[in-house]
Structure 1
């Protein structure tokens, strides 16, 4: 079954159709930011008890089962159409998420999220190289403003000092995850022409489950008890929500535009830290949050004008 057509794919699409598609894309990306910010918080909590690859496996297995059930219900073949790109996106995306989870366990949450959210830079570059998207000035300005805001919100110790040295392996893991995430977002953009969002997520999930299982079994497996079961389930649900929003948003927006909106995740992660982890709220953080929100509004304005 062919993917559902978007307004941008129709030769008879009106300006209103294009604006509606872009607006829906913005909403999906905002939902992705919410889902991924909750995922980061929950993974940080779970990392105190469970090995990283066990979290990755359980999350991926849950998402694979859920997306497969949705595909069966909709009568869509799980194998997809552009299998090569689906497999590449799945392998790259699963590796990126695994490395990010590893980094969250080894770094302060703000530092990890800051490094990860250099991904839009890599998205814009890889989209220009691989699928011919043009680097637009407004998107680049929004990305630069976002990066500045992210730095003020997270205040990474490798730039601001604070007497805390970053774990080298953790920083390398998240930096690699950021590059791979940018590439994965570009694959999602390419797949909009051939495959449905749930098919893309299914490949990410089953490849992540298969790839992480050997590492999970050879490590120190920890059986969940009591409240740890709903914690792990919530990680799967938050990740699934983020992936659905990301995949559908990327199908409706240019890669650089969509990825730049994702910077809002940092503001949300800052809010969760203040509410649930006792993180202090200060002027630097508020100034950074204002810059990130401003950059999102800038990118949204560009998207609605497409």
Structure 2
């Protein structure tokens, strides 16, 4: 049985490593959009991303410890892996039609959806102020999507689906905390996705051309490095400290959109993004405050 590695107090290194993970995540989306626009089917791109991730996970973990292939909670691990796969399929499909800044900004509502799902699934209590923050966050999502305007695209519903799937993935990750080792989670999530997609991609396989080969070869490595870095960062620093780091992706996504695809973020995307980020930061701050009260020792009575 693979065992979780012990925590270490390396906060600064953890924050830097989480920032690096966010950069890799942006590289995943950028590579996927590049390949899909180059003519590769979205499912093939997802398959390529997970196969590369799986090979690296096996090389890093499986060759050193065969126990990493065995799960302590196979049912939950399978469900977690399928949620991650579903999120990736929907997100990559949306990238065929939407700028990276739009998909990234909508996905920033993840902490908001997780807050709502944690009530019935994890039994967590959420106060009125956090519920108000959730509502404000959804207003930000509507500002980005603009369902009332001409710039609305139906593919935004794919991103909303990806958001819900990703949120369930994080819920399952919470349920597996302290139960499953990082090595097992990396191997299972990437391996199950590869096996699930393999029967569907070979019939319409398309090889990349030109610079597409660079993205084709690296997308799996970006996935593996991003998830390994994020998991290690959470071992080095508290999740409450790392949570806001994800929001730097809006700047990375904007830079990737301009440099690679000549698409600039709109005022609506930036404005809605600021609303979502502000709501997410408030929820993060409230969770830290609540946890601080729970952990604060009660003074002894005399």
TM-score tier by shorter-chain length is: 0.7 to 0.9
Identify the residue that residue 51 of structure 2 maps to in structure 1.
61
CA offset digits 1:126-156 (Å, max 9, x no partner):
233333444478877877777677777xx43
CA distance in 1, matches of 2:56, 2:261: 30
Q: Structure 1 residues 212, 267: CA separation in 2 closer, same or farther (over 3 Å shift)?
A: same
Identify the residue that residue 6 of structure 1 maps to in structure 2.
7
Give yes or no for the alignment of 1:30 onto 2:19.
yes
Identify the residue that residue 52 of structure 1 maps to in structure 2.
42
CA distance in 2, matches of 1:293, 1:124: 14
CA contact (8 A) 1:146 1:263 kept: no
TM-score by length of 1: 0.76
> 1:1-306, aligned counterparts within 5 Å?
1-6=2-7, 26-48=15-37, 49-75=39-65, 76-135=67-126, 155-158=144-147, 161=149, 163-167=150-154, 170-218=155-203, 220-248=204-232, 252-253=238-239, 261-280=245-264
CA contact (8 A) 1:64 1:206 kept: yes
Gaps of 5+ in 2: 293-302
Report how far residue 3 of structure 1 moved: 1.2
Report how far residue 260 of structure 1 moved: 5.9
Give RMSD over aligned pairs. Answer: 3.5
Q: Structure 1 residues 261, 138: CA separation in 2 closer, same or farther (over 3 Å shift)?
A: farther
273-282 or 135-144: bigger deviation: 135-144
- Aligned residue for 1:47, secondary structure, equals helix
137-146 or 30-39: bigger deviation: 137-146
Gaps of 5+ in 1: 8-16
CA offset digits 1:45-75 (Å, max 9, x no partner):
1111210011011111111111112122442
CA contact (8 A) 1:37 1:265 kept: yes
CA distance in 1, matches of 2:129, 2:248: 17
Q: Structure 1 residues 245, 131: CA separation in 2 closer, same or farther (over 3 Å shift)?
A: farther
Q: Structure 1 residues 224, 271: CA separation in 2 closer, same or farther (over 3 Å shift)?
A: closer
Report how far residue 283 of structure 1 moved: 6.5
CA offset digits 1:183-214 (Å, max 9, x no partner):
10111122221112231121111111111122
